[in-house]
């Protein structure tokens, strides 16, 4: 697959999880919604599928409420929390060195730190 610039715009809603939930239970939860995990990174321990993003490090599951994907030609990332506490995002990036899951993880961590300091 050739590398190119990707454009993603959407809304992520945090799914409340029991703090002791196992990774296998998360996979079962996602499969029970009819989704199939498409990517799982063993080193960073997260997975993605069309409808969800899960980060094992923070034990956080997000559901894509909205997700639009197109090709574009710049780099730009904007993540913000809206009034409903969902995370709205726009991400335009070259996928030769990263991918959407990594962009989500990095920017949610930054956003969480910003909100904690406010």
From residue 12, how far is each of 42, 50, 84, 97, 104 by CA, in Å?
Answer: 23, 12, 11, 23, 10
Nearest to 46 by CA among 34, 32, 35, 61: 61
Q: What is the pLDDT of residues 42-90, one digit of tens each?
A: 565 667 777 888 887 778 889 988 887 776 666 788 898 899 989 999 8
The C-alpha angle 28, 79, 108, rounded to 5 degrees, equals: 45
Residue 75: domain span: 5-117
Q: Is 80 exceeded by the pLDDT of residue 20?
A: yes
Is the separation of the CB atoms in 89 and 79 below 8 Å? yes
Average pLDDT over residues 93-100: 83
Kindly report whether the global pTM for this prediction surpasses the value 0.85: no
Number of domains in the chain: 1
Residue 77 CA to residue 103 CA, distance in Å, equals: 8
């Amino acid at each position: 697959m050739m590398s190119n610039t990707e454009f993603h715009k959407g809304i992520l809603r945090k799914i409340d999880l029991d703090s002791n939930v196992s990774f296998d239970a998360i996979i079962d939860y996602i499969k029970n919604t009819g989704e199939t995990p498409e990517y799982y990174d063993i080193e960073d321990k997260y997975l993605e599928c069309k409808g969800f993003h899960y980060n094992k490090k923070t034990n956080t599951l997000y559901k894509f409420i909205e997700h639009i994907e197109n090709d574009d030609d710049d780099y730009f990332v904007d993540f913000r929390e809206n009034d409903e506490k969902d995370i709205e995002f726009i991400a335009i990036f070259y996928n030769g060195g990263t991918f959407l899951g990594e962009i989500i993880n990095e920017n949610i961590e930054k956003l969480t730190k910003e909100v904690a300091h406010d």
